[in-house]
Amino acid sequence: MWNKRELQRKIEEWLHEDLGFGDITTMSTISEGEQGIGILYAKESGIVAGLQIAQQVFETVDPELTFTAKVEEGARVEYGQQIAEVSGSVRSILSGERLALNLMQRLSAIATKTNEYVQAVAGTKARVVDTRKTTPGMRFLEKYAVRVGGGHNHRFALYDAVMIKDNHIKGAGGIAQAVAAARAAIPHTMTVEVEAESLGQVQEALEAGADIIMLDNMSNEQMVEAVQLIAGRAIVEASGGVNLDTIGSIARTGVDIISVGALTHSVKAFDISLDLNTRKR
Strands (E) located in 126-205: 127-129, 162-164, 192-196
Question: Would the annotation count 155 as a binding residue?
Answer: yes
Question: Would the annotation count 195 as a binding residue?
Answer: yes
Active-site pick, 70, 76, 165, 252: 165
Question: Would the annotation count 165 as a binding residue?
Answer: yes
Active-site pick, 70, 76, 98, 139: 98
CA angle 143, 151, 110 (to 5 degrees): 55
Question: Would the annotation count 121 as a binding residue?
Answer: no
Task: Look up 10 and say whether it is catalytic.
Answer: no
Active-site pick, 70, 76, 133, 183: 133
Active-site pick, 216, 225, 252, 271: 216
User: Helix or strand or coil: residue 20?
Assistant: coil
Question: Would the annotation count 124 as a binding residue?
Answer: no
Question: Would the annotation count 161 as a binding residue?
Answer: no
Tell me which residue of 52, 41, 72 sits closest to 11, measured CA to CA: 52
Question: Would the annotation count 260 as a binding residue?
Answer: yes
Active-site pick, 85, 195, 204, 256: 195
Task: Look up 195 and say whether it is catalytic.
Answer: yes
Q: Tell me the β-bridge partners of 77.
A: 46
Q: Tell me the β-bridge partners of 35.
A: 89, 279
Which of 86-109 are b and which e, b meaning 16 or more Cβ less than 10 Å from the residue's Cβ?
A: bbbbbbbbbbbbbbbbbbbbbbbb
Task: Look up 98 and say whether it is catalytic.
Answer: yes
Question: Would the annotation count 240 as a binding residue?
Answer: yes
Q: Are 117 and 251 in contact (CB under 8 A)?
A: no
Question: Would the annotation count 148 as a binding residue?
Answer: no
Question: Would the annotation count 262 as a binding residue?
Answer: yes
- Tell me the binding residues: 98, 131-133, 155, 165, 195, 216, 239-241, 260-262
- Tell me the binding residues for substrate: 98, 131-133, 155, 165, 195, 216, 239-241, 260-262
The residues carrying an active-site annotation are 98, 133, 165, 195, 216
